[in-house]
Amino acid sequence: MYLALKEIKHAKLRYSLIIFTIFLIAYLIYFLTGLAYGLANNNRSAIDQWHAKEVIISQYANKNLAASELAVAQLPPVSGDQKDTAQLGQMMGVVSGTGLSKQNTSIFGIAFDTFLKPELQTGRYPQKANEVVVDDGLQGVKLKQQIKLNGHQQQYTIVGITNNHRYNTQPVTYLRLTDFSQLRYGTPQVTRISAFVLKGKAHVKATNQLTKLTISQMINKIPGYGPQVKTFALMISALLVIVAFIVGIFMYIITIEKTAIYGVMRAQGISGMQLVISLMWQSIFLGVIGIGLGLLGNVLTTIGLPAAVPYTNNPELISLFSGVLLIMTVVGALFSIWRILKIDPLDAIGGA
């Protein structure tokens, strides 16, 4: 460690360049992770808060909630606690109103006495017809405001506001099931819904008319969600591999430059292993400082980004990627080990 620190201190510019490179890659990884997680979160945050287990949708929906339509009469009997089951209506929509620009929304029809009811940031749950809860992701919404949905003449009153309740990237508007039925099918009689949601020990036997999906399967079938997550995962994986090569190339060039002095040190009896340990410490120091700066950059980015950008930090993912980055930094330095071990102390004498 002594040698490693002394060398870094002596050649500040050279090692600063390596640290700067690691910082840039670390920062890019954190930034992409923040965006990827933020976008993913925007697709599913309303679903995650259900803490549900499964959904039952129409088998003709191709596992896509938005395309599912079930007749309530079609639902099979439920075993287990009835409180662990809930009916869900879902459709995409457009919110408009006085002082409001047209905005896309995901409309959920629910019974507000089931586990599907959202956590409110302010206000109360709907108690009578045409009262709604909206997410604050809809710009300009406030309590008691009148809104319209999908261009219908019916006015809805906002009685509650949620925070970060989105589905398929759109803020969610929650209606009572009867209002949802009126909006979608033109009748307050709830005869058709989109899905049946189960949690806990509730169980339903799937029939040939129905498809049972886990929540994770349902989210992965949100149009665009899977490819988006895979694209980000691939980009981040590629960056993790690239960092190993960049550090490896830097360290290898530096090692080649130091061949003569390593030869002298070997001649003086300093073992190859001690030089390798020094190299490893160097890579750990460079990695820790570069990653630390990347984390700092990420914190500043989080503070500075506008709220409209879907950027969310996930401590577990950041810790995981930081650890992998550090490992890849050390792996990069491993490329130079064979070179150090191959150095002949005779090089110091100039052949013989």
Q: Given the rule CB under 8 A, which residues bind another protein?
A: 2-3, 6-7, 9-11, 261, 264-272, 274, 345-346, 348-352
* 3-state class (DSSP) for residue 277: helix
Select 73 or 352, whichever has its Cβ closest to another protein: 352
Select 297 or 345, whichever has its Cβ closest to another protein: 345
User: How near is the Cβ of 17 to another protein at its closest, in Å?
Assistant: 16
* Kind and range of the H or E run holding 212: strand 210-214
User: How near is the Cβ of 261 to another protein at its closest, in Å?
Assistant: 6
Q: Which two tokens stand for residue 52?
A: 């549900």
Q: Which two tokens stand for residue 70?
A: 């079930």
CA dihedral 19, 20, 25, 31 (to 10 degrees): 120
User: How near is the Cβ of 255 to another protein at its closest, in Å?
Assistant: 14
User: How near is the Cβ of 331 to another protein at its closest, in Å?
Assistant: 25
Gap between the Cα atoms of 246 and 335, Å rounded: 11
Gap between the Cα atoms of 10 and 106, Å rounded: 59
User: How near is the Cβ of 251 to another protein at its closest, in Å?
Assistant: 15
DSSP 218-269: HHHTSTTHHHHHHHHHHHHHHHHHHHHHHHHHHHHHHHHHTHHHHHHHHHTT
Residue 139: burial class (beta carbons within 10 Å; 0-12, 13-18, 19+) = exposed
Select 260 or 309, whichever has its Cβ closest to another protein: 260
Select 1 or 71, whichever has its Cβ closest to another protein: 1
Gap between the Cα atoms of 58 and 81, Å rounded: 23
User: How near is the Cβ of 282 to another protein at its closest, in Å?
Assistant: 11
Strands (E), 82-186: 85-97, 100-110, 122-123, 131-135, 146-149, 156-162, 166-167, 170-176
Select 261 or 324, whichever has its Cβ closest to another protein: 261
Q: Which two tokens stand for residue 173?
A: 């508007």
User: How near is the Cβ of 277 to another protein at its closest, in Å?
Assistant: 11
Select 315 or 350, whichever has its Cβ closest to another protein: 350
Select 186 or 350, whichever has its Cβ closest to another protein: 350
User: How near is the Cβ of 287 to another protein at its closest, in Å?
Assistant: 20
Select 270 or 334, whichever has its Cβ closest to another protein: 270
Gap between the Cα atoms of 191 and 336, Å rounded: 70
